[in-house]
Amino acid sequence: MTFQDLQLLPALLRAVGDMGYVEPSPIQAAAIPPVLAGRDLIGCAQTGTGKTAAFAIPILQRLQKKADGSHKPIRALILTPTRELALQIQDNFERYSKYLPLRSTVIFGGVGQMPQVEAIRKGVDVLVATPGRLNDLCNQGHIDLKKIETFVLDEADRMLDMGFIHDVRKVIARLPQRR
Ligand code: AMP
């Protein structure tokens, strides 16, 4: 199996090539087709096996296929338990979208919210967030999740271990029924 076999957009193939990836990892080969088809998916694989690209690449492709260009509501939300993971995931989105006109940003607690609010105000397609800060900014009216098409619970098991269940439920309650 190659990345070409997965029928990715040329801009994504080029970005993947720049990363030096030769072929999709097993979780990528298994996850990319159903995510491209818009299906729900639960993926389990060990750390370091390429899970981030397994969701980031097909999400970017779906966003690009239906890109609106003008105004930018947040269309994909990635929820993850820690600041470190959030930063890593957004870095991945940036790398894979470097040849696409799609934007992402990252929010997490423990730092001032102003720059985060400013970044969101400018318009982003993809938001990577930790649960507490996301709910905070939603409560303050800075973030609208009504146009979310794709929702990812990254490290869902760890999120539960860390006691984020209430925050996660609150986030889910803000999302459209169909996603
Ligand atoms: P992750 O499991 O998402 O944290 O990815 C672990 C590491 O594997 C990261 O450094 C990725 O850049 C790298 N990686 C992801 N997909 C592939 C691939 N198909 N081939 C080679 N390396 C990859």
Q: What is the pLDDT of residues 107-134, one digit of tens each?
A: 999 999 999 999 999 999 999 999 999 9
Residue the block writes with tokens 């979310």 = 148
Band of residue 173 on the pLDDT scale cut at 50, 70, 90: very high
Ligand 1 atom at minimal distance to the Cα of residue 21: 20
3-state secondary structure (DSSP) of residue 140: coil
Band of residue 67 on the pLDDT scale cut at 50, 70, 90: confident
* pLDDT digit string, tens, across residues 93-111: 999 999 999 999 999 999 9
Asked whether 55 lines ligand 1 (CB < 6 A), one says no
Ligand 1 atom at minimal distance to the Cα of residue 92: 12
Distance 47 CA to ligand 1 centre (A): 10
Asked whether 28 lines ligand 1 (CB < 6 A), one says yes
Ligand 1 atom at minimal distance to the Cα of residue 24: 19
Going by CA atoms, what residue is nearest to atom 4 of ligand 1? 48
Read off the pLDDT of each residue in 12-17 and give the average, rounded to a whole number.
98
Ligand 1 atom at minimal distance to the Cα of residue 3: 19
Distance 21 CA to ligand 1 centre (A): 8
Going by CA atoms, what residue is nearest to atom 5 of ligand 1? 50
Cα–Cα dist 138/132, whole Å: 10
Say if residue 72's pLDDT is above 90. no
**Which pLDDT belongs to residue 69?**
63
Say if residue 70's pLDDT is above 80. no
Encode 118-138: b = buried (16+ Cβ within 10 Å), e = exposed.
ebbeeebbbbbbbbebbbbbb
Of 115, 51, 105, nearest in space to 76 by CA:
105
Give the list of residues 6+ apart from residue 83 with CB closer than 8 angstroms, or none: 108, 109, 110, 130
**Average pLDDT over the chain, rounded to an integer:** 96
Give the list of residues 6+ apart from residue 46 with CB closer than 8 angstroms, or none: none
**What is the pTM (predicted TM-score) of this model?**
0.96
**Which pLDDT belongs to residue 66?**
84
Asked whether 80 lines ligand 1 (CB < 6 A), one says no
**Which pLDDT belongs to residue 18?**
97
